[in-house]
Amino acid sequence: MLVGVDVRPRTDEDLAGCVRALGAVHMADGYPTWWPVDPAGWLSPSGCAAAWVAHDDVMGSILGHVCVVRGVDDPMVALLTGVSTDRLASVSRLFVSPVARGRGLGLGTSLLAAVSSWTSAHDFRLMLDVVDDGAPAIRLYERIGWRLVDRRQADWVTPQGERLPVRIYLAPEGK
């Protein structure tokens, strides 16, 4: 466990803090690309099965968030993994607040571990997609053993009308 930081299932009471942290991430990194009309609702996308937060027990603030979406409609990844699309799950809405980065807390790794434990317990194969921009997130995924399986154009557009390149990763086997 991280000293002073608890990674735990998200509650409804956490949503306001999640939105504050997401706002800081949006200002620092432009994520999400489009600021949602309903940021609290955006944190629970369609198919969301579970969500976790990194909570600073000392300050009482949310430092990170992640959720898992099940039943991912990605036939190519399903073929690569040998599972049906209804057994695919995806990491979604993963972020760590700028104030928590570079402090050696390992929040991204801990949040991904929570998702990995859930998907293993529920017999899902875990994947994620990330914008191919060389950001620290890519280094994190590769450092902890995620495997790059595809590169493609995003199925969404930026405010400038661009379709960005994305990378598709699979979680390490057994995770």
Q: Which residues pair with 7 in a beta bridge?
A: 54
Predicted pLDDT of residue 75: 94
- The verdict on whether omega for the bond into residue 172 sits within 30 degrees of 0, i.e. cis, is no
Predicted pLDDT of residue 1: 43
Backbone phi, then psi, for 160, in 5-degree steps?
Answer: -85, 0
Give the Cα separation of 147 and 152 in Å (integer): 15
Give the Cα separation of 80 and 69 in Å (integer): 19
pLDDT averaged per 10 residues, the chain (length 175): 80 97 95 95 97 90 97 93 94 96 88 96 96 86 95 91 94 76
Cα separations (Å) of 5 from 8, 44, 59, 171?
10, 22, 10, 24
The Cα angle at residue 42 between residues 96 and 159, in degrees rounded to 5: 85
